Structure 1
Amino acid sequence: MKFGVVVFPGSNCDRDMQDALQNDFGKEVIMLWHKDKDLSMFTTDDCIVIPGGFSYGDYLRCGAIARFSPMMQSVIDFANRGGKVLGVCNGFQILCESGLLPGVLLQNANQQFVCKNVFIKNGAGQALKVPVAHGEGRFYADDATLDELEKNGQVIFKYCQPDGTVNEGANPNGATRNIAGIKNRAGNVFGMMPHPERSSSEAMGNQDGRKVFELLLGLN
């Protein structure tokens, strides 16, 4: 599997993602400029990553402008053909704005930028320590959509306490039902607010982010 990392004006986690995939997992990574649209070098066995940052300065809603970039039009087509797509932080916002994932990301409930380590729980009940850094990371969807996500197993991560307990105290942004990450119905598009690329190296003192890549993309 090789990876494409999309770079927008305002992206600030693109090189972090490249470093994690290349140096921590030994994968081939191709950087993709937002004005380009050629994805012919990728097959549906590969993965396109939409990294964190402030695409186009987030001057409208976070991710709303990036959704219309030439590259995102190609990413949408790639996902609809079954290719894997991962969006982290601003990338998650872009995937929701593009319609590849349901719901929206709203301003944090405390109206403040949050930057700290949090714990997230996967479907197997494992609690992982992964950092967040966002001002608009509060996932929201209507009850019918939320019920559908839960029913279909599309909620991939929830904010939790270190022991795995999911409660309001573990929620850094007020996300509905403590949701930190979701996937689409087909299971090939993933979005999450926490940053696994910032916690996948021994040099960071935390490698729980590696487990995120392993769980979602089968890396090892």
Structure 2
Amino acid sequence: MTMKIGIVVFPGSNCDNDLFRAFEKQKLYEVIFLWHKDTDLPKDLDLCAIPGGFSFGDYLRTGAIASKSPIINSIIKFANSGRFVLGICNGFQILCETGLLPGVLLRNKSTKFVCKNQILKVCNSNTHFSKLYNENEEVNFPIAHHDGNYFVNNETKKMIYDNNQIAFKYHKNNPNGSVDNIAGIYSQNHRILGLMPHPERRVTSEIGLDGERLFRSLNV
């Protein structure tokens, strides 16, 4: 069965085409673009994806302005109905700003933009996004961000551990100061995923295929 994917584009998004190609390459999805000023999502949409970039120039705070865009209310209703949502890098920041995911993304501990390949550890292989990975498997995804330092208070951290909401952790080194090396998390129902690394940049044999299974997992 073909799933329908909608990729939301904001002013300043710059990974939307990469994400489009990552989904389209699997030949399992109908992929469309959605504009941030849209007020409604298509009724037959199965997953809403928010790509990386610098929405609205990252002014005020990363993801803060984007989280007030007209389309956001529809995304919140979509997510609360149990549908799938994926946020990568700036998309993760936006999902945290909306409250769909817990925590906040702060300036990297080094205060510098970090751009490199990063080893991650898969922390939960029992979700729609991760079922083609193995628990504790090491994968290599690129990272490229200035504000990827994930922070939650101790009470919230206990909650995400208790609910097995941690998707990925940085492995062997922590590039940004994130609490407990956290690189990506799920919502409590595991149908919303936000992560700072870029799996959509690891879907070709030339540069690596570690990200491809994330996109295939959704329709297996």
TM-score by length of 1: 0.91
Correspondence for 1:56:
56
Aligned equivalents of 2:218 and 2:53: distance in 1?
25
Say whether 1:134 aligns with 2:136. Answer: no
Q: Which runs of 5+ in 2 are unaligned?
A: 124-134
Q: Which structure 1 segments of 5+ residues have no match?
A: 162-169
Instruction: Please tell me the residue identity of whatever aligns with 1:127.
Output: E
Query: Residues 114-193 of structure 1: matches in 2 within 5 Å?
Result: 114-123=114-123, 124-161=135-172, 170-193=173-196
Equivalent positions of 1:68-147 (< 5 A) are: 68-123=68-123, 124-147=135-158
Distance change (3 Å), C-alpha of 1:191 and 1:185: same
Quote how far apart the aligned CAs of 1:24 are: 3.6
**C-alpha separation in 2, matches of 1:211 and 1:98:** 27
* Structure 1 stretches of 4+ moved >6 Å: none
Query: SS in structure 2 opposite 1:136?
Result: coil
Name the structure with the higher helix share: 1
Q: Secondary structure at the match of 2:157?
A: helix
Fraction of identical pairs, as percent: 50
Distance 2:208 2:39 in 1: 35
How many residues align? The count is 207
CA contact (8 A) 1:25 1:219 kept: no
Contact 2:122/2:138, CA 8 A, preserved across alignment: yes
1:27 counterpart letter in structure 2: Y
Higher relative contact order (CA 8 A, sep 6+): 2
- Over the aligned positions, Cα root-mean-square deviation in angstroms equals 1.2
- For normalisation by structure 2, the TM-score amounts to 0.91
